[in-house]
Structure 1
Amino acid sequence: MVFEDTILTYLKVTAHSRPFLASCYERIDHPKVDHHAFHNAERFIHGLNLGEEYWNAASHTPLSVKPLLYYYGLNHYLKSCLLTVDPGYPATSKVLAHGLSTRKRKKQHYRFLEDDVRIQPHGLFPYAAHHLFQFDCTKEKVSMDELLRPLESMKPIYHYKNSSQKTAEPWPALLSYFAVLYNLSMLVRYEGEWWGEMEQMRDREDYVFIIHFLNAASEHIPKLIAEWLKDQFLS
């Protein structure tokens, strides 16, 4: 097979997605390769298309909407990826939850980098972490700073932040993006007053880091998804 401009474009054709999925299922010795490749092809393509549509929509929306669109776009991308390693996904409703949680009410003098998310035992996050990256987080919660600091795309802005704090063991980049986008989407949904004030007071450190992160996410997440799928394609 010959790659087009990107693997994301190439695999959004049924004639390409079915043999791709079949090769993925053969690799894991699944007993119903052709059956699942046939029935999952449209779901796989639909996830890639929805991810792209959310991404395109995010580029034309105000800041207050971008985190939601990027978060749900990444959800759809990851669900398509999961179909390559788990033909029966989703087997139960448990795996459809976010898999993360955060404080609903923020404390006074809230700072984004100091905020954290809690990892739940069930849901998309832990399921994708285990099945896509063979990564099982041993921590109950992780801060935004711990997630952002190791990202290659965040190094330029951390260069100007005076801090001697050392990195935590870095997560797979897509999982870090997922967790940070989840937290930002929760801020948009439930902390509208804080979010609106942050947009107006643009001199805050929170604003600088969030804008830089969202710009990086818009560029890097589709590339990371494409790289993951390409690894599956070539393995």
Structure 2
Amino acid sequence: MHSTDPILTYLQVTAHTRPFLFSCYEKINHSRAEHHAYNNAERFIHGLSLGQDYWSTALHTPLSVKPLLFYYGMNHFIKSCLLTVDPGYPATAKVLAHGLSTRKRKKQHYRFLEDDIRIQPHGLFPHAAEHLFQFSSEKTKISMDELLRPLPGMEEIFQLKNPSPIPMEEEWPELLAYFAVLYNLSMLVRYEGEWWGEMEQMKDREDYVFIVHFLHSAADRIPKIFASWLKDQFASIS
């Protein structure tokens, strides 16, 4: 994280977090608002703190592990945000899974932009989509190209690849698109080490250019989205 947004610093103090969570729960008419605000405050604070630790580490780490740190940083940020709208999170073990999956075996001549992820019925991704954005998709899978193309900072590089605009079938919340792409990249880092290593060495490959460009943009953009989301929550209860 290049710089810590004031809202993230402010909400990492228990004296501020508990009243904030209490107001969030009162807003949704939760019968045990005070109880959950007290119990969730430390979890909320630790989530933000761990997210920032992962993020700041990722900014200064090699490309070989950067997507993994960004992905887990996002996980912690999302879980803190979920605590503002879902006091009982996690209610079951089902919501602790990723909520996304990838092909177990990559095709020969694998291309990242042509790859896709599958959306699972349970897990962090669909839970966050529903509770943070009231978003659901009829799709069970979506391509990296479709997720990346609308993101801020990616338009210019896609225009170089294909100047003719391609209409998107469905508009996704920006944060969910980042989450899905980082999930796929983290899986490549963990389980496709040979491909990832070759991609890093062959820097002239199209995949390398798009991945590095995406990570550079995401590094600055994602913390701002979380800060903006929390500011909106804060403003709605003020």
- Say yes or no: TM over 0.5: yes
Q: What is the CA-CA distance between 1:168 and the residue it aligns to?
A: 2.7
Hey, what does 1:162 align to over in structure 2? 162
Please tell me whether the aligned partners of residues 20 and 234 of structure 2 are also in contact (alpha carbons under 8 angstroms): yes
Q: Whole-Å Cα distance in 2 between the matches of residues 213 and 23 of structure 1?
A: 36
Hey, what does 1:217 align to over in structure 2? 218
Q: What is the CA-CA distance between 1:134 and the residue it aligns to?
A: 0.2
Give the alignment's TM-score, normalised by structure 2.
Answer: 0.95
Q: Whole-Å Cα distance in 2 between the matches of residues 147 and 114 of structure 1?
A: 11
How do 1:3-82 residues align onto structure 2 when only pairs under 5 Å count?
6-82=6-82
Q: Whole-Å Cα distance in 2 between the matches of residues 131 and 106 of structure 1?
A: 32
Uncovered stretches (5+) of structure 1, i.e. residues with no partner: none
Number of paired residues?
Answer: 232
Please tell me whether the aligned partners of residues 24 and 85 of structure 2 are also in contact (alpha carbons under 8 angstroms): yes
Hey, what does 1:97 align to over in structure 2? 97
- For residue 229 of structure 1, give the secondary structure of its aligned residue in structure 2: helix
Q: What is the CA-CA distance between 1:5 and the residue it aligns to?
A: 5.1
Q: What is the CA-CA distance between 1:156 and the residue it aligns to?
A: 2.1
Q: Whole-Å Cα distance in 2 between the matches of residues 40 and 118 of structure 1?
A: 31
Q: Deviations over 1:197-221 (max 9, x none)?
A: 0000000110000001111111011
Hey, what does 1:234 align to over in structure 2? 235
Hey, what does 2:202 align to over in structure 1? 201
User: Alpha carbons of 1:163 and 1:145: their partners in 2 closer, same or farther (altered >3 Å)?
Assistant: farther
Q: Whole-Å Cα distance in 1 between the matches of residues 19 and 76 of structure 2?
A: 21
Q: Deviations over 1:70-128 (max 9, x none)?
A: 00000000000000001000000000000000002110111100000000000000000
> Percent identity at matched positions?
75
Please tell me whether the aligned partners of residues 148 and 177 of structure 2 are also in contact (alpha carbons under 8 angstroms): yes
User: Alpha carbons of 1:37 and 1:212: their partners in 2 closer, same or farther (altered >3 Å)?
Assistant: same
Q: What is the CA-CA distance between 1:37 and the residue it aligns to?
A: 0.6
What letter corresponds to residue 228 of structure 1 in structure 2?
W
Structure 1 outlier segments of 4+, above 6 Å? none
Q: Whole-Å Cα distance in 1 between the matches of residues 47 and 214 of structure 2?
A: 24
